Amino acid sequence: MLSRQIASKLLNYETPFYLYDIDLLRRTLESLVYESEKYGYKVHYAIKANYDDHILGVIREYGLGIDCASGNEIRKALELGFDPKGIVYAGVGKRDKELHYAIERNILAINCESIEELHVIDAFSAECGRCTDVALRINPDIDPKTNHCIDTGQADSKFGISYEEVLEHVEDIKSLKNINIIGLHLHIGSQIRELHVFENMCDKVNVIVANLASLGFDLRFVDVGGGLGINYDVPENEPIPNFASLFSIVQKHLDVGSREVHFEFGRSIVGECGELITRVLFNKTTATGRKLLIVDASMTELVRPAMYGSYHNIENITSQESAMEKYTVVGTACESTDVFDENVSLRKSRRGDLLTIKSAGAYGMSMASRYNLHDLPSAVYSDKL
């Protein structure tokens, strides 16, 4: 972990802040590009994971496309110089102004999530004399074996169109003259660590693609989404996720002929390169004997533990003590769920010590809020130190 190596330097910064290891980000991107090029796979970065300008600038250097979930995310990607023809746009509830914006920017594809949305895009495209490229986001009904809060591809989920509904509306969809169905999209969930789940996904995709082709859909690409998990338990053991294993599974099981295969990774690209650095404010013990360590970060900087019960490994990076203590690490927000972790073994910690909350590069800063009118956290980049 970078923070451990430069802990004394970090003491001078106002906390809490995100520390980004740009060298690790680059090594992760190098591995991703190297492994994906073996099979000719195209990769989009899911910008929702972290839309920091400096990070996006580095990602752009590696030639990735962008997966967006809102009009503002498309705008951000374009402002940072990403090619519109590498941008895909998914989302169950795209607002009218967002659809107009996406249609006018001529992006690679709008990933449609309902039959009604297809009709609306067709009508908006007709109004401005265009024919818009879209992909059908199909709900494949797969259990991705992850935290239920972040699965997206099971039958009852709000995401995607059910395959049955697509089949019922084939003629209706084909009659829409101002959209081109050029791709198939799915995304089954996030933080997937059991990679065999992707085998099931490939088996389903093969059937769907073959059926849609026989029904006359001319699909140019198949976008199988993101979801590759990272090692939150011991990030030091696996700083760069295992892209090679996932790609080799997909290579072995996906059978979509000469169609392009796309991925949309968020967490696996930026998750491990970010740490949330926070300072100990106070120690206290509850009436029940629980030792609380009150730190100056909170759920407003990193909401994952409070929102999903997610685990992040925590370490005291400045204490010189050799004795370990068990603490419950809590934040400053006025919410009882504002707890980073319970029963954490840390070196004996005092007011002023710095803690790192690891693996916070994805869905950390991008989900920060100003609850309690907290300031948004700043960022420190390893290549600007």
Q: Which two tokens stand for residue 280?
A: 């100990």
Rounded-to-integer distance, Cα 224 and Cα 205, Å: 8
State the nearest-atom distance from the C-beta of 363 to ligand LLP, in Å: 3
State the nearest-atom distance from the C-beta of 226 to ligand LLP, in Å: 3
Closer by beta carbon to ligand LLP, 3 or else 190? 190
State the nearest-atom distance from the C-beta of 126 to ligand LLP, in Å: 27
Closer by beta carbon to ligand LLP, 230 or else 355? 230
Rounded-to-integer distance, Cα 258 and Cα 275, Å: 41
Give 246-249 contacts, CB < 8 A, sequence gap 24+. 246/195, 246/198, 247/35, 247/36, 247/38, 247/39, 247/41, 249/195, 249/196, 249/198, 249/199, 249/202
State the nearest-atom distance from the C-beta of 215 to ligand LLP, in Å: 24
Closer by beta carbon to ligand LLP, 227 or else 331? 227
Rounded-to-integer distance, Cα 315 and Cα 119, Å: 52
State the nearest-atom distance from the C-beta of 91 to ligand LLP, in Å: 8
How far is residue 56 from each of residues 51, 53, 73, 96, 358, measured CA to CA in Å? Answer: 6, 5, 12, 27, 20
Q: Which two tokens stand for residue 127?
A: 């109004």
Rounded to a whole number of angstroms, the distance between the first and last alpha carbons of the chain is: 16
Rounded-to-integer distance, Cα 344 and Cα 233, Å: 12
Q: Are 135 and 182 in contact (CB under 8 A)?
A: yes
The helix-helix angle for 53-61 and 22-39 (nearest 10°) equals 40
Closer by beta carbon to ligand LLP, 230 or else 280? 230
Tokens 């199988």 belong to residue: 224
State the nearest-atom distance from the C-beta of 279 to ligand LLP, in Å: 24
Closer by beta carbon to ligand LLP, 10 or else 25? 25
Closer by beta carbon to ligand LLP, 94 or else 304? 304
Rounded-to-integer distance, Cα 273 and Cα 267, Å: 10
Q: Report the interface residues with ligand LLP, using CB under 6 A.
A: 46, 49, 67, 90, 150, 187, 190-191, 225-228, 264-268, 304, 362-363
Cα within 13 Å of Cα(72), Cβ side: 3
* DSSP string over 53-73: HHHHHHHHHTT-EEEESSHHH
Closer by beta carbon to ligand LLP, 205 or else 280? 205
State the nearest-atom distance from the C-beta of 192 to ligand LLP, in Å: 7
Closer by beta carbon to ligand LLP, 10 or else 46? 46
State the nearest-atom distance from the C-beta of 266 to ligand LLP, in Å: 3
**Region label for 225, one of left (φ > 0), alpha (ψ between -120 and 50) or beta (otherwise):** left
Closer by beta carbon to ligand LLP, 18 or else 327? 18
Rounded-to-integer distance, Cα 324 and Cα 316, Å: 10
Closer by beta carbon to ligand LLP, 244 or else 292? 244
State the nearest-atom distance from the C-beta of 121 to ligand LLP, in Å: 17
Q: Which two tokens stand for residue 271?
A: 């998750």
How far is residue 257 from each of residues 15, 53, 181, measured CA to CA in Å? Answer: 52, 37, 17
State the nearest-atom distance from the C-beta of 147 to ligand LLP, in Å: 7
